[in-house]
Amino acid sequence: MNSPIPDTCCSLHPYFKINEGCNEKFKEIVGKFCEQVKKETGCVHYNFSFSGEDEAHCREMYKNGEALLFHLENVGAALGEALENAKVERLEFHGTQEDWDKCKEKLTPLGTKCFILDSRGVRPQN
State the CB neighbour count (10 A cutoff) for residue 32.
15
Q: Which residues contact 21 (CB under 8 A, 6 or more apart)?
A: none
Give pLDDT tens digits along the chain (126 positions).
Answer: 577 888 889 999 999 999 999 999 999 999 999 999 999 999 999 999 999 999 999 999 999 999 999 999 999 999 999 999 999 999 999 999 999 999 999 999 999 999 999 988 887 776
Give me the pLDDT at residue 7, please: 86
Sequence letter at residue 55 = E
- Residue 53: count of CB within 10 angstroms of its CB: 13
Q: Quick one: pLDDT at residue 126?
A: 64
Q: Give the C-alpha separation, 116 to 71, whole Å.
A: 20
pTM: 0.90
DSSP state of 112: P
